[in-house]
Structure 1
Amino acid sequence: MDFQLTVDQRALKTGMRELLAARFDRDALRAAVGRPGLDRALWRALGEAGFFSLRLPEDEGGVGLGLPEAVLLFEEAGRALLPGPLVATHLAAGAVKGAATGEAVVTRVDGGLVGWLAQADHVQGDASGAAPLRSVDPLTPLHRIPGTRTATDPEAVLLAAAEQLGSAARVTEMAVQHAKERVQFGQPVGAFQAVKHLCADMLVRTELARAAVYAAAVTGEAEEIAGAKLLADEAAVRGARDCLQVHGGMGFTWEADVHLHLKRAWVRAEQWQSAEQACEALAAALQAPPGS
């Protein structure tokens, strides 16, 4: 059985990376940090590229692809730290007018949170009584919803896991790059065993999460998606923390991008399905009678 990406899937992934490199590079990321708010032109460009309509049938104006391909696009979005309610708008394509083309921004009540509430054209779920919440991520405005709500949409959980995977891969690359370039005591810091171990652990966690996320995209099983989210959250959060350690004191400063990945990873870890919810889903699946 071949689990490698197809030529078309690789081309899709490469095309999205090139689009984001052109439309949301590091300068654009930094500008977005200093200027809160959604870039509507970029949102429409994503719509034109088929980001939101990817899984709509072709006779409905979509691309006609599946969940595995959507995972690849969201992985690239996570890698670039692309802001906005991407998951909610993607899932609303075909159901909310303008969502598929990027003309409408859709957000959705997620557990006890809702992101980008003030900038959204359409809100799915009950957001009554929403109160502004100071977000650790400067690119993700949040509101808290009173009461207890549970997010149960497996596809939303998987797409969030894919974003975490992209972020984990990116911070691994950043750590390795810095370890090669930063010189201490006459040699690159990557020559030191402690730094080597940090980078190796980051790579292992990322590739383990990648295998889980890609597999869950194929099966679509809720318990496999829960496991993928757990692994992707760990890879993103611990990877960003380890990357920060490799950068040393500079990693804590605004001039480094490491802290932005860490803050986004913290927020995503609580979105759609928290670690506690994922563990409960896995435990319930393990305790279920065979064949149930």
Structure 2
Amino acid sequence: MHFQPTDDQNALRRGVRDLLAARFDRAALRAAVDTPGLDRALWRELAGAGFFSLRLPEADGGAGLGAVEAVVVFEEAGRMLLPGPLVATHLAAGVVPGAATGESVVTAAAGGLVTWLNEADEVLGHCAGAVPVRSVDPLTPLHRLPRPGNAAPDPVAVLLTAAEQVGSAARTTGLAVEYAKERTQFGRPIGGFQAVKHLCAGMLVRAETARTAVFAAAVTADPVETAGAKLLADEAAVGNARDCLQIFGGMGFTWEADVHLHLKRAWVRAEMWLTATEAEEIQAEALAWAL
């Protein structure tokens, strides 16, 4: 069986990409880095585009779409490094008043971390005793819980976080290829060197493998496949950002380049909702039962 995006899903991707390109381009990204804070006007605009109400039934004011469409939307958000507790607010739509319309910003206790706690109007889960910690990502303020909860992570949250990681992995692949075509060394573009070609090819394979796993999990809604998709997506986002830095060389380690922002966000997302260790445990248990 071959799974291909429908015309409507492709149109949704184009629409979201155009919206984010217009409202959160590179200039806006760098402005957000220089002046941290949540843009409430943008948040409401995202809500108007259906970011949070996408999966709500039409009778409740939503679009009545499914997990696959949500994955498309959140992949584009990850590609642009869109800040804010997007996943938690999406989960809260239809539960927390104002979440679907962007009037309320909702965060959640995801494992041992809480993002954007000071900016949030509501919190899903218990955040008692959460203390602020210095975040590696300048676009994601963090609090840490003294005792992480034992509740199973929400599978939709895991899936959408994985989709964000896929978007970041795809973006760093594109950045690496573009730079390899432009940067010259010894009188030729560095993209002509075999070592750079291999790095770019490996990045593409990681990104596409993770994307396939995420979309498959969106279709099946299987918790084991979702855990595997998160694991692959985390590896793709972190690994591709690191390889992109390698291709950029010294330029990639400067504050002005965007590559380090993708790596730092990927590190934070990898610790949200479902960590690599937890995902591996789920996979191992499933394999043990299958034997």
Q: TM-score, normalised by structure 2?
A: 0.98
- How big is the shift at 1:39? 0.4
Matched, 1:69 2:69: yes
Deviations 1:110-144 (A, max 9, x none): 11110000000001111111100100000000000
**Distance in structure 1 (CA, Å) of the matches to 2:95 and 2:109:** 16
**Distance in structure 2 (CA, Å) of the matches to 1:195 and 1:266:** 24
1:46-195 correspondence runs (5 A): 46-150=46-150, 151-195=152-196
**Distance in structure 2 (CA, Å) of the matches to 1:215 and 1:143:** 32
Name the structure 1 match of 2:5. 5
Deviations 1:16-62 (A, max 9, x none): 00000000000000000011110000000000001100000001000
Name the structure 2 match of 1:25. 25
Matched, 1:243 2:244: yes
**Runs of 4+ with >4 A deviation:** none
- How big is the shift at 1:186? 0.1
Name the structure 2 match of 1:288. 289
- Tell me which amino acid in the other structure corresponds to 1:242: D
Deviations 1:172-230 (A, max 9, x none): 00000000000111000001111011000000001100110000000011000000001
**Distance in structure 2 (CA, Å) of the matches to 1:20 and 1:259:** 20
1:224-243 correspondence runs (5 A): 224-243=225-244
- Tell me which amino acid in the other structure corresponds to 1:28: A
- How big is the shift at 1:287? 1.6
> What are the ranges of 5 or more consecutive residues in structure 2 without an aligned counterpart?
none
Q: CA RMSD of the aligned region, Å?
A: 0.9
**Distance in structure 2 (CA, Å) of the matches to 1:252 and 1:2:** 41
Q: TM-score, normalised by structure 1?
A: 0.98
**Distance in structure 2 (CA, Å) of the matches to 1:266 and 1:289:** 32
State the secondary structure of the residue aligned to 1:109: strand
- How big is the shift at 1:289? 5.5
State the secondary structure of the residue aligned to 1:108: strand
Count of aligned residue pairs for this structure pair: 290
**Distance in structure 2 (CA, Å) of the matches to 1:188 and 1:97:** 54
**Distance in structure 1 (CA, Å) of the matches to 2:289 and 2:84:** 37
Name the structure 2 match of 1:223. 224
- Tell me which amino acid in the other structure corresponds to 1:120: A
- Tell me which amino acid in the other structure corresponds to 1:198: L
- Tell me which amino acid in the other structure corresponds to 1:202: M
